[in-house]
Amino acid sequence: MRHITQDGIDLIKRFEGFSSSVYICPAGYPTIGYGHLVRSGESFTEITETDAEELLRKDVESAERAVLRLVNVPLTDGQFDALVSFTFNLGSGAFQRSTLRRKVNRQAHSEVPEQLMRWVWAGGRKLNGLRKRRSAESILYRLQA
């Protein structure tokens, strides 16, 4: 199976942020490390950045599988990484239903950054953090296109 590169992991880490201890995320879930949702049966008091990256790599596997399943054209590493970051952040359902995915599969790669930038809204508000993340994903997508 294809995996996200270190550049992709670094992008996700930058936008997820690191917490060595458990906190409650905006959605109300206990979270640790780089956005790892603490599951039933898991127990953490503190975590190192190295262990948090290991957890992130496991967590991102579902986004990798979704991109591999939903995209039927060849992708560069940058394109794959950008789409995995997007899918990790928003979920495979959002990616599956998106015009973004249709543009990728039509190989309309020049139109993908514009599609990424449509996904900057949460709770009816345009969020600066999401705008920055989508911009970084767009740059990564274009750099190696």
Q: Is 16 a catalytic residue?
A: yes
Same domain, 72 and 52: no
Domains contained in the chain, number? 2
> Residue 48 domain-assigned?
yes
Check if the beta carbon of residue 87 is closer than 8 Å to that of residue 103: no
What domain range is 23 assigned to? Answer: 6-59
- What integer pLDDT is reported at residue 32 of this predicted model? 97
> In terms of residues, how long is the chain?
145
pTM assigned to the model: 0.94
Q: Are strands 30-33 and 19-24 parallel, antiparallel or unpaired?
A: antiparallel
Q: Spot the catalytic one: 16, 53, 64, 137.
A: 16
| Among the listed residues 29, 9, 6, 32, the one whose alpha carbon sits nearest the alpha carbon of residue 19 | 32
How far does Cα 33 stand from its chain's mean position?
Answer: 15
> Residue 1 domain-assigned?
no
Whether 145 has a pLDDT exceeding 60, the answer reads no
Quick: pLDDT tens for 85-135.
999 999 999 999 999 999 999 999 999 999 999 999 988 999 999 999 999
Same domain, 127 and 139: yes
Q: Read off φ and ψ for residue 142, nearest 5 degrees.
A: -75, -35
Residue 19 CB coordination number (10 Å): 17
